[in-house]
Structure 1
């Protein structure tokens, strides 16, 4: 069995319950699990460490091999949506006050907390402006968004990037867990500070 088949089998085994697609709301939710989703937007709003579905609305699900190919052939941008553990951004400097270090896929841009189910106006602006910066305003630039395995933060962030109008959003559900397992190379991550010239996030 090749590595892509192993990865897909791993995720399939974790997702044992069928997903309910509510067409009128445009949401993807696990049967009996609807309370964990915003009924209007479809974003996961709590219990972010849990098995995820196989797909994200507006995004393409990819494997480790796809990540390598997109980085090499498509100049894809890696976006790490892992939440920051700590006291949050400093209101004076915008620097993230971390209580736990993070390692991620080399070359990634770490944008903490952009995968939360509800973003404050400041955090929404943070995500939008940084995506615009790293793509140089090209909404057709390939974006690879990830977190950890079984992490809804990456799922939410990918869905949100597609909602912003990015047309080539790729979701890497295995995140740093699968990358470490197959590639073994991670590097220390430094989160992008907030712009404190605007209001601080809630």
Structure 2
């Protein structure tokens, strides 16, 4: 009887689709469910992220930067929207796209070298927001560059805030 009741509960529970890891990098839409894993990297949750943060492990935010639209009238005042990030994180903006421009590729390469002191065995945490393929792409690139202790914080700033409250700070774009 207990087995039948358990079977009924599991049958009624929604089944979440498993998102497979793509072979290459993921493009649009970037805001979509992500895999639970990333080959060559460790996937971490907010509690583990906080532990690593407290240990002084470098955090790399790859959230894209909002640029002034090209079609704005000349007399329009443009104010770049604020981006908030985890305290102490380095914001390597626009480095999580499927295809990177040479400038974006250089920003990621130089930025990772700076935060790790050039040590590819040094641990680092890469994040964006929840369900953001940009952090998955950037972490995959870091692994392909030879970094051996890449930690992908798949919940990013959303999970950080849900777990710790509104402990985010204004991000300043970095162009190493």
TM range (shorter): 0.7 to 0.9
Q: 1:71 aligns with which of 53, 61, 69?
A: 53
> 1:126 maps to which residue?
107
User: Residue 64 of structure 1 contacts residue 182 of structure 1 at CA under 8 Å; is this kept in 2?
Assistant: yes
Deviations 1:169-189 (A, max 9, x none): 001111101111111201010
Q: SS of the counterpart of 1:16?
A: coil
**Are 1:182 and 2:163 an aligned pair?**
yes
User: Residue 135 of structure 2 contacts residue 152 of structure 2 at CA under 8 Å; is this kept in 1?
Assistant: yes
Larger gyration radius, structure 1 or structure 2: 2
Deviations 1:127-184 (A, max 9, x none): 1011101111111111101000010001101111111110000011111011111112
- After superposing on structure 2, the runs of 4+ consecutive aligned residues of structure 1 that deviate more than 6 Å are none
Q: How many residue pairs were aligned?
A: 155
Structure 2 matches for 1:33-112, cutoff 5 A?
42-73=24-55, 75-87=56-68, 99-112=80-93
Higher relative contact order (CA 8 A, sep 6+): 2
> 2:96 maps to which residue?
115
In structure 1, list runs of 5 or more residues that go unmatched: 1-12, 21-27, 30-40, 89-96, 195-202
User: Residue 84 of structure 1 contacts residue 98 of structure 1 at CA under 8 Å; is this kept in 2?
Assistant: no
Distance 1:124 1:14 in 2: 40
More strand, by proportion: 1
In structure 2, list runs of 5 or more residues that go unmatched: 1-12, 70-77
> 2:173 maps to which residue?
191
**Structure 1 residue 19: Cα displacement:** 4.1
Distance 2:52 2:161 in 1: 18
